[in-house]
Amino acid sequence: MKSDLFAQSNLENETQTRFALQNEQLLRVSLGPDVLSVKGAMVAFQGQIRFDHEKSGSMGKLLKKALTSEDMPLMRVSGQGEVFFANEAGYVYILELDGDGISVNGRNLLAFDAAMSWDINRVKGAGVMAGGLFNTVVTGQGSVALCTVGKPVVLDCSQQPTYVDTNAAVAWSANLVPQVVSSMNMKSMLRGGTGEALQFAFHGPGFVVVQPSEWVAQASQGSGGGGGGLMGNLLNG
């Protein structure tokens, strides 16, 4: 059988690197130590692989998952073999953390080393008007894979204030503490708004990753789309 489908660029990447790009839109992870991934991100695997629901690990984290839109439904991937992850053909990027941290929009998170620490943090200033904005912070030593809608831009926040639409922010340096601000004035509100009501405001040593697309708010089903509302999230951990 002959076809361009069998071009070398479409064949499996045989690298021994633990986290590697199969291509720009597909992550390949060689298992040994466990990996945590967002549920539904696995598209294929080879070998003896097991997938288990990952519980929160602490009551505080469990309550955050239950009460916030940053539901973070994770699965633990274990065994021996290779697993491929993707999210709606988005572009995949791998970050190697060396004891530092990254704050990630849960909808842009793909997978990370299970030995790393993670928690859900509320963005300062994100009150009722913002609907409550929460990000997932991953820290420690290991690899973190992100997925963006379109190819992103990385902005340096150390030289001047940087403002990013809350629905376009992918991730930022964990040491940065953004504020949620509004650029809408009263006159604009009376005339129907501008469509650019809320932004994250960053200023300090670090970076923010911005995708050329804005997430559309999901319909709330308890928290982050999980069935069963608050009780369902508590039971699922």
Percent share of the chain, pLDDT over 90? 58
Record the pTM.
0.81
Q: Which two three-digit tokens encode residue 16?
A: 């021994």
Task: Tell whether 235 is covered by a domain.
Answer: no
Q: Is the pLDDT of residue 12 over 60?
A: yes
Instruction: Please report which confidence band the pLDDT of residue 190 belongs to, taking 50, 70 and 90 as the band edges.
Output: very low
At 98-147, the pLDDT tens digits run 999 999 998 999 999 999 999 988 776 555 444 457 889 999 999 999 99
At 51-110, the pLDDT tens digits run 999 876 554 555 545 544 445 689 999 999 999 999 999 999 999 999 999 999 989 999
Task: Tell whether 138 is covered by a domain.
Answer: yes
- Domain range for 180: 15-213
Is residue 26 within 8 Å of residue 84, measured between CB atoms? yes
Instruction: Please report which confidence band the pLDDT of residue 28 belongs to, taking 50, 70 and 90 as the band edges.
Output: very high
Higher pLDDT, 219 or 15: 15
Instruction: Please report which confidence band the pLDDT of residue 232 belongs to, taking 50, 70 and 90 as the band edges.
Output: very low
> Kindly report the CA angle at 73 between 68 and 79, in degrees rounded to 5?
155
How many domains does the chain divide into? Answer: 1
Task: Tell whether 167 is covered by a domain.
Answer: yes
Task: Tell whether 75 is covered by a domain.
Answer: yes
Task: Tell whether 8 is covered by a domain.
Answer: no
pLDDT value for 220 = 41
Task: Tell whether 184 is covered by a domain.
Answer: yes
Tell me the CATH number at 172: 3.60.160.10
Task: Tell whether 5 is covered by a domain.
Answer: no
Task: Tell whether 23 is covered by a domain.
Answer: yes
Helix axes of 229-236 and 59-67: crossing angle, nearest 10 degrees? 150
